[in-house]
Amino acid sequence: MFVCACQVAHSQKISRKEFQEEIEIAVLVLTDVHANPFAFQTEEGLIQLKDSILHEHNSKDSISVLTAFQCYANLVSSIKCAHSGAYRTKELDSTIHPFPVEIKIIEEKGFIARNYPVLNLFTGDQIVSINNIAWKSIFVKGKNLHSSDGDSPLNGALFERRYNLDIPIILGNPVDFKAVTLHDGVLVESDFDASRMAASPRICQSFNFCIVGADKNIGLIKVINFPSDEKSIADFEKFCMKTLSKLERKKIKDVIIDIRDNGGGDRIDLLLRNFTSTSFKLMSSTIDTSNLTKYSRELVFHGTTYENVLKTPAKSQLARQVDFQGDLYLDINIYVLVNGRTASAASHFASLVKEHDLGKIAGTETGGRAAGCNGNLYCSYFLSNSGIELHFPLMVNTYAVDQVDNPNHGVFPDIIIKEELSDDLELTKLIEIINKHNMH
């Protein structure tokens, strides 16, 4: 029965009429509900994209649900606003054959990130094509499955995070994969069956601390996500105090705060306030609820109710302004390590460090926008024919950053450290830079 259910979900299609209806609904809901739909994409541009999608599939009697998902995701990602997206049902996700080979995307190129000698794949080999589809085409389509603010690199970075599911969708969900890679200047073909290989698990711990460097003289604080619920906030606050006590006891003067791959969260002040005596305004938030009423029955609100959303002050009024008083605990040198997957509140953390000269930013440009993003209140609209979920933020957050040279970009680093195949190599380079600086 399970196999049959998977086969049905895998082969699920919707008619051209149903597809057209859902495209129209997606654009309508996107325009009416999203907190800031035309910050980067004009309404005319969105309509043109919709028309081009309909024209492309006009001759087809039916459309695969996975193909429809790509179209819906393309529409949502075109508005380039954070925390928006199209999501598949769990039933549909369970029918996708994950791409089992671990890769890393650097400057839009795909590289094998782990040795697979049986498959003739080795760390550092560059991917030329998969199933006769050029890597460049796979990457561009992968970017279109995701969304981000402004011109930041978050689209491509999110594709990297979900490559093992995104690549099969782009290729039509095959079981067998044929990869062509470049190994020592020679093209190599590799064939493998995804059903016989397990995808590499990605283990994440929210936050931890250790001491690094050959002389054990540099503190490393790793934060995967900033806390947002009551328990994680309490745990993170305890973690910060214990870490600061260790830094003081061991007389450590240089600290790396590693927020690579940190997708955001909330209480960045719990960590930031310990490194400054200045009082900061974190952000202000506004919401427009004028168009929500016509969708009140269809929208699913996350973490709140429809009635509570309507009680939130309307657009142009200050819905929320968070201030925190700095509490300088230790006078130390801060280095914040970031990449294109540093987004939302984590990107804001980096922007405040840079704006107020609290330390140095190292790595590559962060995701999101330095001047703000969407978030806080979220809702979903489920398309009835395909079951695809459209996910929208309802608030516009404006960060309290006074001077932003590139408002539509993320935060640019003071110390450029290009992404490597191994995260440890990036960290090693920063440690070398810190030690070299201390020698002079």
Tens digit of pLDDT for each residue in 312-324? 766 655 544 556 6
Question: According to the model, what pLDDT value does residue 439 have?
Answer: 56
Question: According to the model, what pLDDT value does residue 284 have?
Answer: 74
Q: What pLDDT, in 10s, does the model give residues 379-422? A: 999 999 999 999 988 888 877 665 567 778 889 999 999 989 88
How does the average pLDDT of the chain come out, rounded?
87
Higher-scoring residue by pLDDT: 109, 321: 109
Least confident of 57-66, 100-109, 359-368, 401-410: 401-410
Q: Is the predicted pLDDT of residue 10 greater than 60, yes or no?
A: no
Q: Is the predicted pLDDT of residue 438 greater than 80, yes or no?
A: no
% residues pLDDT > 70 (the chain): 91
% residues pLDDT > 90 (the chain): 51
Q: Is the predicted pLDDT of residue 26 greater than 90, yes or no?
A: yes
What's the Cα-to-Cα distance from 297 to each of 51, 155, 306, 329, 377, rounded to whole Å?
Answer: 28, 31, 9, 50, 17
Q: Residue 111's pLDDT band (boundaries 50, 70, 90)?
A: very high
Question: According to the model, what pLDDT value does residue 152 have?
Answer: 83
Q: What pLDDT, in 10s, does the model give residues 149-197? A: 888 888 888 898 889 999 999 999 999 999 999 999 999 999 998 887 7
**CB atoms closer than 10 angstroms to residue 151:** 16
Question: According to the model, what pLDDT value does residue 246 have?
Answer: 92
User: Exposed, middle or buried: residue 326 (CB in 10 Å: 0-12, 13-18, 19+)?
Assistant: middle
Of 231, 302, 303, 242, give the one whose Cα is nearest residue 267: 231
Q: Terminal CA-to-CA distance of the chain, rounded, Å?
A: 69
Q: What pLDDT, in 10s, does the model give residues 350-366? A: 988 988 889 999 999 99
The alpha-carbon radius of gyration of the chain (Å, integer) is: 23
Q: What pLDDT, in 10s, does the model give residues 232-263? A: 999 999 999 999 999 999 999 999 999 999 98
Return the percent helix, strand and coil in the chain, to nearest 5.
Answer: 35, 25, 40
User: Exposed, middle or buried: residue 21 (CB in 10 Å: 0-12, 13-18, 19+)?
Assistant: middle
Question: What domains can be seen in the chain, in order of their start residue?
Answer: 207-278+326-370+406-439 (3.90.226.10)
**Which tokens hold the place of 126?**
């560059």
Q: What is the mean pLDDT of residues 329-355?
A: 90
User: Exposed, middle or buried: residue 277 (CB in 10 Å: 0-12, 13-18, 19+)?
Assistant: exposed
Amino acid at 224: I
Question: According to the model, what pLDDT value does residue 319 have?
Answer: 46
The pTM for the full model equals 0.88
